[in-house]
């Protein structure tokens, strides 16, 4: 038996079972019995939706940023018929070119208890096509899957022994690869005993993410040309940045709600919106389009509906300086100070350094003979002691 440990418990969310259970219950209780769907529909939806929800999309940031939002998705679920949960999340730490990865673990741990992996389905998928198998350390490093596990456990706690998990790490897929995996998963999506959980935040905005897309709000009959804000601390005189981000996200949400796989890809190509779960979403849309070829057309009794019930930002960005309103920043209640910093602050600094180096590797490509400034070389030597491998590249391959 191989258990994937809850490696982000204690930093991105509490590792205290009692506190975690209380926190999740509080967020779920805060969701009203009737929620308003995000425009343009504006319809009222009673939750849970009896027997109807086959898939949800929810965030994976630290719970202090995403916990209350995720509750809206999980509150929609009628658990009566569900026996299996397919959990699809993006890979933040390893590059999987046009591949998805399956776990080799038999159980996924949470502070609340373990969730059994459906080994039969995992083996069946592995034999169906081009699937990669995650190493245990890669599995445990990825947070996009783990952040949903406590909510899955809590949602199904009354029947947790009857529930099994199919965790899937989704790599960097092109459109055809999204269709490929969507077609493989379509029969499972069609089964009313299966629930698909898609892990995704939306826009990650700011210099840290090298994404400063901005569009001024013009007259109703005009569309302002988008620009990239460059100056450090730049603050537009017109539309606040956070409003531009929200309009950008809502455009993407509308395309997803139309279940238009090609349209969603065009939207991403046009805006480059940093939706980290774009490929899991793309796989879901491809599966829906496989099952319901007319799903992109007008809604009727034969076609599924996809509606967003909650949108929020972790901060209201006003200048280029702040990071994304949906940045994955670890949350911690620890107050012990070490070297003048709390453990949460130290964790944040490590994550910032790790992100910067990952970005550099991804954009520069692994190769020998980097020419580095002495100060940078010393920093990388320090990082080398913290991380054995990064994006599949052994640090020893880099000339420091």
- Tens digits of per-residue pLDDT, 239-283? 888 888 888 889 889 999 999 999 999 999 998 888 889 999 999
Any idea which residue has 């592995």 for tokens? Answer: 126
- Classified as helix, coil or strand, 278 is helix
Pull the structure tokens for residue 283.
Answer: 């796989």
Predicted confidence (pLDDT) at residue 107 exceeds the cutoff of 90: yes
Give the Cα separation of 128 and 145 in Å (integer): 22
Which pLDDT score is estimated for 235? 76
- Mean pLDDT in the chain? 80
- Residue 143 has a pLDDT of 92
If one counts every other C-beta atom within 10 angstroms of the C-beta of residue 341, the result is 13
Task: Quickly tell me which residue has 């456990």 as its tokens.
Answer: 153
Per-residue pLDDT, 345: 44
What average pLDDT does the segment 56-72 reach? 92
pLDDT band for 16, please (50, 70, 90 cuts): very high
pLDDT on residue 348: 46
The whole model's pTM is what? 0.77
In this prediction, residues 177-184 reach a mean pLDDT of 97
The phi, psi pair for 111, rounded to 5°, reads -60, -20
If you average pLDDT over residues 62-75, what whole number do you get?
92
| C-alpha span between 239 and 206 (Å, rounded) | 16
Confidence of residue 302 (pLDDT cuts 50, 70, 90): low
Query: Could you tell me the pLDDT band of residue 37, with boundaries at 50, 70 and 90?
Result: confident
Q: 133-163 pLDDT, tens per residue?
A: 999 999 999 999 999 999 999 999 999 999 9
CA atoms of 218 and 222, how far apart (whole Å): 6
Instruction: Look at residue 89 in the predicted model and tell me its pLDDT.
Output: 96
Q: What share of the chain is helix, strand, coil (3-state, %, to 5)?
A: 40, 15, 45
Q: What percent of the chain has pLDDT over 90?
A: 48
Q: What is the pLDDT of residue 223?
A: 53
pLDDT in tens, 201-232: 888 877 777 788 888 875 544 455 678 777 65
DSSP code at position 48: S
Q: DSSP secondary structure string, 188-234?
A: HHH-TTEEEEEE------BGGGTB-EE-----TT--PPPEE--STT-
Q: Please give the CATH topology (third level) of the domain spanning 3-205+244-291.
A: Protocatechuate 4,5-dioxygenase; Chain B (3.40.830)
Task: Find out whether 192 and 54 touch, Cβ atoms under 8 Å.
Answer: yes
Where are the domains positioned within the chain?
3-205+244-291, 352-397
Backbone angles phi, psi at 101, to 5 degrees: -125, 145
Mean pLDDT, residues 305-323: 79
Predicted local confidence at residue 156, as pLDDT:
98
84 pLDDT above the threshold of 90: yes
């Amino acid at each position: 038996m191989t258990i994937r440990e809850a490696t982000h418990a204690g930093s991105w969310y509490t590792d205290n079972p009692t506190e975690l259970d209380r926190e999740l219950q509080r967020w779920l209780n805060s969701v009203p019995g009737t929620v308003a769907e995000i425009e343009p529909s504006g319809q009222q939806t009673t939750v849970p939706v009896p027997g109807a929800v086959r898939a949800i999309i929810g965030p994976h940031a630290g719970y202090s940023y995403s916990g209350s939002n995720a509750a809206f998705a999980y509150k929609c679920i009628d658990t009566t018929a569900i026996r299996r949960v397919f959990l699809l999340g993006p890979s933040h730490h390893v590059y999987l070119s046009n591949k998805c990865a399956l776990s080799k673990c038999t159980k996924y741990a949470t502070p609340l208890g373990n969730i059994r992996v459906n080994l039969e389905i995992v083996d069946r998928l592995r034999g169906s096509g081009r699937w990669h198998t995650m190493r245990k350390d890669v599995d445990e490093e990825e947070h996009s899957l783990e952040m949903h596990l406590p909510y899955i456990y809590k949602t199904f706690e009354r029947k947790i022994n009857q529930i099994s998990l199919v965790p899937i790490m989704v790599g960097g897929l092109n459109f055809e690869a999204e269709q490929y995996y969507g077609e493989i998963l379509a029969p499972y999506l069609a089964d009313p005993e299966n629930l698909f959980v898609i892990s995704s935040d939306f826009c990650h905005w700011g210099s840290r993410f090298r994404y400063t897309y901005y569009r001024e709000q013009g007259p109703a009959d005009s569309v302002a040309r988008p620009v990239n804000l460059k100056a450090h601390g730049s603050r537009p005189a017109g539309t606040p940045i956070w409003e531009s981000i929200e309009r950008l996200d809502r455009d993407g949400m509308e395309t997803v709600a139309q279940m238009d796989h090609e349209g969603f890809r065009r939207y991403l190509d046009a805006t480059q919106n940093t939706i980290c779960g774009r490929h899991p979403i793309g796989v879901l849309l491809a599966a829906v389009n496989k099952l319901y070829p007319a799903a992109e057309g007008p809604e009727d009794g034969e076609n599924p509906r996809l509606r967003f019930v909650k949108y929020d930002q972790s901060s209201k960005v006003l200048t280029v300086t702040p990071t994304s309103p949906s940045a994955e920043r670890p949350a911690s209640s620890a107050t012990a100070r070490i070297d003048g910093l709390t453990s949460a602050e130290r964790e944040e600094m490590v994550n910032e350094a790790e992100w910067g180096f990952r970005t550099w590797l991804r954009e520069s490509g692994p190769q020998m003979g980097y020419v580095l400034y002495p100060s940078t070389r010393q920093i990388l030597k320090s990082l080398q002691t913290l991380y054995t491998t990064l994006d599949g590249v052994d640090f020893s391959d880099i000339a420091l």
